[in-house]
Amino acid sequence: MKKNTLHKVMATALVGAMAMGTLTGCGGSTDAGADTSTKDTAAVSTEASTDAGTSTAVAGIDGWEPFADNVTLQIPVYDRGSSGNGCSDVENNYWTKWVQENFGDKYNITVEYVGITRSDVMTDYAMLAASQSLPTICMEYDYDKLASWQADGYLQTYDVEEFKQIAPTYWETMVEHGNDAYTKLSDEDYLVLGYRPYGNTTYTWCTFYRQDWLEEAGFSEYPVGDNTKLLELYAKLVENGHKYPLSGKKVSGAGIDQNYGYRDYPQDETTWATTGDYQIPSLSTEAQKRFLKWENELYNDGYYNPEYYLRDASEAEADFINGEAFTWTGYVSSTMNVLNSFYETNPDGKLAVAVTPSTWTQDESWGSSASYRPGTNFGMMIGFANDATEDEVKAAMMYLEWLNQPENLFTMQWGIEGVNFNYDDNGDPVAVADQTGLDEQQGHNNNVDYWCAVTAVKTLGSIEKDIKAITPQGIPQDFYDQILANYNGQVAIYEAGKANSDCLFATSIDAVTEYNQTLYDLYTEYRDKLTMCSKDQFDALYDELSQKYLEAGYQEVIDQRQEALDNGQTTRLQ
């Protein structure tokens, strides 16, 4: 596994790029209009000795005191629009109250959670900024979003030495994984970063398929990345009486229609840097053409519901649960209501996890492969709102340090022994499979949206233990071996150089901010036209719509990314 090697390469490249950063716009000042003369109520002493240049106060939690005047700390939490595997109200539930009681009350901090629509993050933040009500902490997984927020003045700089004093454990974790290299935007410190274990894979994002249907069709395994064999399989499924085996749902949400499995490898660096980012669908590229031509084939051959464009994700999920769809894809966790419901409805149903092959091949007919989008060593990226007061920023730093304490992080991730989890014979925690109806019910993916500020994935120290911990519990089948095989297959693909992290830019790409929503809206419209047109019309229509897409702003995005690449303001393709 080259996780550390990847990180060192990226860190070195990005630090160099950031040193030359020329971000437009400016962040708010650190006082953000607050009356700094009244800031003698700070909960943490950061007074430095003049002779040593270091703080004489006790660093970390042992040096904290309650604020003299109550401070409000607002923390974003994703609202995924569903109570399927989480609390009905993401802003007010058992765990938000637990944080208040165990952290906020102790330090005279009122902790408020602010719901952010997961599928429309940028719009929500823009509306909050316009109303001057940004949460104290502004955070996202995507680097370019933070760069855009800095360029638009959403964020303020912070004092790294003060952060080290208030949150030494959090900073040490950043240093341990090399993420202290990514704090700067426009050559100033704006960001602190959580960690992403196993960042060179996406192994927790799994496709479940009907193993019983596959076997009935005469196949022994799911042909990941081999579209020619997939067409043979789908045809047989329909022949066996499974109407619309791929179900179908409208295209929506961030990161739609990713084309990593349709690119040529090794990638061309210019194409990778200018059109490879998953945020804006790369209509006009060869990889996107291959992907959409495949979608057109599936639609015209009758494998999708012909009204897919009117259906939301819950309808496609219901098809799978009701035994009408061949596959369902989502994040794996120990508690999965989708699987619980599936087995209740289909007690004799047999599922399996699609496993990434360890040997990379490309389908000559379709240009498809098992390549995927790996991440990086950093997970959530965090900035502080431009109008946050000095005390509010300190409260945010305290929260990050408190959450990073092993006992607090463990409780937020696993819950309460005997309620949310139990220990096995090896002393490892095992989550309770069905938490429905519990006051202590955890949110999406074992509360991930509350502890992601520290780490993107919970870990017990080894991939085997970690997969065991997230393997769905309380169901008729055990998917541990398949999830582990999928992880190992992805590592092999990564090691072979057939999976590359996205290009990161140390300067804002203004065209992305300006045209992102326009291009997203256009893409969803054009995508449906390209999916539903006749096969013989596809090539000409793709060329026509690609040109319109370029003229609507995508060409400006490409040109500005090219300029950043030429100026050395990006990571490099490895």
Q: What is the pLDDT of residues 134-172, one digit of tens each?
A: 999 999 998 878 988 998 999 999 999 999 999 999 999
Dist. CA 304–CA 306, nearest whole Å: 6
User: What pLDDT, on the 0 to 100 scale, is given for residue 433?
Assistant: 78
Q: Report whether 393 contacts 157 (CB < 8 A).
A: no
**Amino acid at site 62:** D
Q: What are the φ/ψ torsions at residue 306 (nearest 5 degrees)?
A: -65, -15
Of 260, 254, 257, the closest CA to residue 287 belongs to: 260
pLDDT, residue 124, reads 94
For 308-334, what is the mean pLDDT? 96
- Cβ neighbours around 220 below 10 Å, total: 7
76, two tokens:
């974003």
Per-residue pLDDT, 214: 98
Do 92 and 131 meet the contact criterion of CB atoms below 8 Å apart?
no
Longest dimension (CA), the chain: 82
| 410-413 long-range contacts, CB within 8 A, separation 24+ | 411/98, 412/95, 412/98, 412/99, 412/447, 412/450, 412/451, 413/446, 413/447, 413/451, 413/458
Residue 13 has pLDDT above 50, yes or no: no
pLDDT at 80 over 50: yes
Task: Write the single-letter amino acid at 426.
Answer: N
Question: What confidence score (pLDDT) does residue 420 get?
Answer: 93
Domain 66-197+376-459: which CATH class? Answer: alpha beta
Residue 43: per-residue pLDDT: 54
Question: Does CATH number 3.40.190.10 belong to domain 205-373+468-567?
Answer: yes
pLDDT bucket at 107, cuts 50 / 70 / 90: very high
Q: Would you state the pLDDT for residue 38?
A: 36
Q: How far apart are CA 149 and CA 28, in angstroms?
A: 11
Average confidence (pLDDT) over 516-533: 96
Q: What is the pLDDT of residues 410-451, one digit of tens each?
A: 999 999 999 999 999 989 998 887 888 899 999 888 899 999
Q: For residues 73 and 123, which has the higher predicted lDDT (pLDDT)?
A: 73
Based on DSSP, count helices (H) and strands (E) in the chain, helices before strands.
20, 13
Question: What's the pLDDT at 506?
Answer: 76
Question: Which residue in this structure is represented by tokens 């066996």?
Answer: 240
Question: What local confidence, expressed as pLDDT, does residue 332 receive?
Answer: 93
Both structure tokens of 522: 């256009």
Average pLDDT of the residues in 358-377: 95
pLDDT at 55: 42
In contact, 340 and 432? CB cutoff 8 Å: no
**What is the predicted pLDDT for the residue at 25?**
30
Please state the separation of Cα 565 from the chain's center in Å: 24
Average pLDDT over residues 516-532: 95
Q: What is the average per-residue pLDDT within 556-572?
A: 94
| Average per-residue pLDDT for the chain | 89
Two tokens, residue 498:
């057939």
- The dihedrals phi and psi of 349, each to the nearest 5 degrees, come to -70, 145
pLDDT, tens digit, for every residue of 272-312?
Answer: 999 998 889 999 999 999 999 999 999 999 999 999 999 99
Q: Is the dihedral of CA 528, 530, 531, 535 positive or negative?
A: positive
Q: Can you give the pLDDT at residue 441?
A: 92
Predicted pLDDT of residue 50 = 32
pLDDT-above-90 percentage for the chain:
75
Percent of the chain whose pLDDT exceeds 70: 89
Q: Is residue 392 classed as helix, strand or coil in its secondary structure?
A: helix
pLDDT of residue 88: 67
Peptide bond into 266 cis (omega under 30): yes
Positions of CATH 3.40.190.10 in the chain: 66-197+376-459, 205-373+468-567
The closest alpha carbon to 154, from 171, 135, 141, belongs to 135
* Burial letters 528-546, b for 16+ CB under 10 A, else e: bbbbebeeeebeebbeebb
The total number of residues written for the chain in this structure: 574
For residues 483 and 542, the answer to whether their CB atoms sit within 8 Å is no
Eight-state DSSP code of residue 229: H
Q: What's at 18, amino acid-wise? A: M
Sheet strand arrangement including 327-331 = 327-331, 205-210, 351-353
Confidence of residue 18 (pLDDT cuts 50, 70, 90): very low
How many angstroms separate the CA atoms of 238 and 259, rounded?
26
Instruction: Reply yes or no on whether the pLDDT at 31 is more than 50.
Output: no
Section 461-468 average pLDDT: 94
